[in-house]
């Protein structure tokens, strides 16, 4: 075999315009040691970050306005996502009102998908069926880890069995399942992280999000870090460990829809420590792609002589700051014999021939 034709391993997924409805801390039984929703959601002040009815009323009013705007402009096929709190632990009348408001825009095609995020110890079978019945499509569970030591040291308040049962309950209810993982929490190890990845793959969620643990000022984790009782994962270790996980998820056809926190305005200055980089997702993807391509190229009988890559993956191929150029050079691939094209696949050949475009 002198030619290798390869498609990017990332599973295809439907991309929707998302209307986020942030519910910072609403429904949360307590504040988790690493969590700073007011920074993560960009809501650094205002009524929405307060507790109770008036705050929920303000959030709902904003949501109604956003949905009306979509209707006015005729924008179709959007999703609504309830983030930043524990949706399934809100007072029932608020869960109902939020979902029914989103659902009322489904008939004309404005809204086609509704999801919420919640904790694994705040779901049960009956409740999930009720949520599905009033319009919910997907539950994203903030699992973070299935490892007993991590859950205990991070004071998550549930064990690994509860986390698995919650995932299975979501599956059984007919709702789509999303799993959120947080490598690098207190008590975490690299081997434990890969067990988390294997456990997640076994549960076959529709989506995964990976948020490497950061230390944000003002959180209990920030104090533990200052006292020296908690050490973060380094950026290189995180990129390596998450890129290996990404490859496993890709191989199983599970889309990873987010890697790392979005760089909200107030977030960056509040980061005390941790594997933060504004291009973390790109770095992880490019490492995963590099390892997948180099593995695939071992099927070639001799060194590659020429390669074409889909133009949209060129930056991912060369890596952040062209960090993979050395690897490719060792394999005989340099800008002189690597071209990009509009075709959707990679082509590697061992013959130095002019490829017909
Ligand atoms: S349950 Fe989620 S949103 Fe609530 S405090 Fe914990 S991590 Fe933050």
Angle at 320 between CA 20 and CA 207, to 5 degrees: 35
Task: Assess whether pLDDT exceeds 60 at residue 356.
Answer: no
Task: Tell how far the Cα of 190 is from the centroid of ligand 1, in angstroms.
Answer: 24
Give the pLDDT confidence score for residue 196 in this predicted structure. 98
- Which residues belong to CATH 3.20.20.70 in the chain? 17-277
Task: Assess whether pLDDT exceeds 90 at residue 70.
Answer: yes
pTM: 0.93
Task: Tell how far the Cα of 142 is from the centroid of ligand 1, in angstroms.
Answer: 8
What is the C-alpha to C-alpha distance for residues 174 and 73, in angstroms, rounded to an integer? 33
DSSP per-residue string spanning 302-338: S---EEEEEGGGHHHHH-GGGTTHHHHHHTT--TTTE
Task: Tell how far the Cα of 286 is from the centroid of ligand 1, in angstroms.
Answer: 30
Mean pLDDT confidence for 303-310? 94
Task: Tell how far the Cα of 128 is from the centroid of ligand 1, in angstroms.
Answer: 19
Task: Assess whether pLDDT exceeds 60 at residue 205.
Answer: yes
The DSSP bridge pattern shows strands 3-7 and 345-349 to be antiparallel
pLDDT digits (tens, 9 = 90+) for 58-67: 999 999 999 9
Mean pLDDT confidence for 134-141? 98
Give the pLDDT confidence score for residue 93 in this predicted structure. 97
Give the pLDDT confidence score for residue 154 in this predicted structure. 95
- Does the CB atom of residue 119 touch ligand 1 within 6 A? yes
- Does the CB atom of residue 35 touch ligand 1 within 6 A? yes
Binned at pLDDT 50, 70 and 90, residue 15 comes out as confident
Task: Assess whether pLDDT exceeds 50 at residue 46.
Answer: no
Give the pLDDT confidence score for residue 348 in this predicted structure. 95
- Does the CB atom of residue 85 touch ligand 1 within 6 A? yes
- Does the CB atom of residue 31 touch ligand 1 within 6 A? yes
Give the pLDDT confidence score for residue 43 in this predicted structure. 61
- Does the CB atom of residue 37 touch ligand 1 within 6 A? yes
- Across the chain, mean pLDDT equals 93
Q: Whose C-alpha lies nearest to ligand 1, atom 3? A: 85
pLDDT digits (tens, 9 = 90+) for 158-182: 999 999 999 999 999 999 999 999 9
Binned at pLDDT 50, 70 and 90, residue 352 comes out as low
Task: Assess whether pLDDT exceeds 60 at residue 44.
Answer: no
Range 17-277: architecture per CATH: Alpha-Beta Barrel (3.20)
Q: Between residues 76 and 43, which one has the greater pLDDT?
A: 76
Atom of ligand 1 nearest to the CA of 84: 3
Contact 138, 176 (CB under 8 A): yes
Task: Assess whether pLDDT exceeds 90 at residue 244.
Answer: yes
Tell the burial category of 98 from Cβ atoms under 10 Å away from its Cβ (0-12, 13-18, 19+): buried
What is the C-alpha to C-alpha distance for residues 132 and 128, in angstroms, rounded to an integer? 6
Give the pLDDT confidence score for residue 266 in this predicted structure. 85
Task: Tell how far the Cα of 280 is from the centroid of ligand 1, in angstroms.
Answer: 22
Q: Whose C-alpha lies nearest to ligand 1, atom 5? A: 31
Q: Whose C-alpha lies nearest to ligand 1, atom 4? A: 28
């Amino acid at each position: 075999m002198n030619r290798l034709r390869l498609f990017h391993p990332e599973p295809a997924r439907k991309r929707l315009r998302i209307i986020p409805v942030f519910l910072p801390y609403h429904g949360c039984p307590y504040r988790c040691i690493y969590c700073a929703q007011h920074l993560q959601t960009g809501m650094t002040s205002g009524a929405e970050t307060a507790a109770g009815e008036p705050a929920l009323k303000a959030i709902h009013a904003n949501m109604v306005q956003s949905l009306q705007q979509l209707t006015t402009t005729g924008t179709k096929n959007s999703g609504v996502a309830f983030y930043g709190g524990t949706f399934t632990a809100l007072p029932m009348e608020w869960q109902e009102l939020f979902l029914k408001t989103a659902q009322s825009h489904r008939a004309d095609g404005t809204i086609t998908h509704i999801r919420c995020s919640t904790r694994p110890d705040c779901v049960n079978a009956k409740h999930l069926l009720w949520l599905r019945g009033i319009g919910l499509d997907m539950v994203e569970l903030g699992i973070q880890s299935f490892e007993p030591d991590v859950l205990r040291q991070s004071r998550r308040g549930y064990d690994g069995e509860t986390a698995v049962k919650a995932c299975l309950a979501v599956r059984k209810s007919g709702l789509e399942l999303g799993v959120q993982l947080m490598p690098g929490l207190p008590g975490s190890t690299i081997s434990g992280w890969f067990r988390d990845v294997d456990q997640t793959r076994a549960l076959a969620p529709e989506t995964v999000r990976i948020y490497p643990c950061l230390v944000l000022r003002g959180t209990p984790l920030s104090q533990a870090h200052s006292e020296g009782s908690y050490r973060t994962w380094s950026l290189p270790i995180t990129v390596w460990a998450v890129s290996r996980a990404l490859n496993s998820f890709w191989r199983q056809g599970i889309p990873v829809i987010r890697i790392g926190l979005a760089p909200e305005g107030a977030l960056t200055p509040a980061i005390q420590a941790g594997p933060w980089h504004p291009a973390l997702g790109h770095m992880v993807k490019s490492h995963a792609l590099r390892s997948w391509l180099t593995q695939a190229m071992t099927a070639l009988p001799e060194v590659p002589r020429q390669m074409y890559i889909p133009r949209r993956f060129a930056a991912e191929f060369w890596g952040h700051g062209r960090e993979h150029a050395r690897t490719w050079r060792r394999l005989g691939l340099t800008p002189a014999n690597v071209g990009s094209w509009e075709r959707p696949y990679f082509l590697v050949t061992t013959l130095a021939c002019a490829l017909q475009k």
